[in-house]
Amino acid sequence: MASKSLVAVFSAGGVTKKVGQAIAKVSGADFYEITPKTPYSSADLDWTNKKSRSTLEMNDPASRPELADHALNIEAYDTVILGYPIWWGVAPRIIDTFLESYDFSGKTIIPFCTSGGSGLGRSDIALHDNAGAGVTWVKGRQINRPGEAEIQKLLDEVK
């Protein structure tokens, strides 16, 4: 049976979505956007406001923003390329929600991030516990532009 891949991304400002769509196109993977039940407004994303929704979520490690849907058939995929922006040095809490909402055992997860200021850091490693046991993790990388050469480099490294 052929291996089937999914590119699943959360994107607040569109950059991560654009990179994820390019990865899906180059790799031939399916694309899925992780969306919150309550969309983020510009005010919610104001990281300079200590009372904004994103700041409150990121300051609470137990925060799990609700997903808009749980209709994804994750069983159909062997590999999940997981994309997210870097918020406060880690993945947004909705990525935790996503990983805890599905059974990833037996799957390979390849994380990538986008960031305007900081790199991947340990954001990918911090996600491991949320995906449960039996997951093969590939070291993540930062990709800020959906350039085909950069995407192909990522795909070649994880073969």
CATH architecture of 5-157: 3-Layer(aba) Sandwich (3.40)
The reported pTM is 0.91
Q: Which two tokens stand for residue 84?
A: 């997210």
Q: Is the pLDDT of residue 81 over 80?
A: yes
**Could you tell me the pLDDT band of residue 159, with boundaries at 50, 70 and 90?**
low
Average pLDDT of the residues in 98-112? 95
Residue 1 has pLDDT above 50, yes or no: no
Judge whether 3 and 79 are in contact, CB under 8 Å. Answer: yes
2-32 pLDDT, tens digit each? 579 999 999 998 999 999 999 999 999 999 9
pLDDT tens by residue, 131-140: 888 999 988 8
What CA dihedral angle connects 40, 116, 92 and 74, to 10 degrees?
A: 100
The rounded mean pLDDT for the chain is 89
Q: Average pLDDT for residues 134-151, to the nearest whole number? A: 83
Q: Which token pair is 77?
A: 């995929």
The answer on pLDDT for 158 being more than 50 is yes
pLDDT at 108 over 80: yes
Q: What is the pLDDT of residue 129?
A: 83
Separate counts of helices (H) and strands (E) for the chain: 5, 6
| Integer Cα distance of 83 and 127 in angstroms | 12
Show me where the domains of the chain are located: 5-157
pLDDT of residue 141: 84
- What is the percent of the chain where pLDDT is above 70? 94
Q: 96: helix, coil or strand?
A: helix
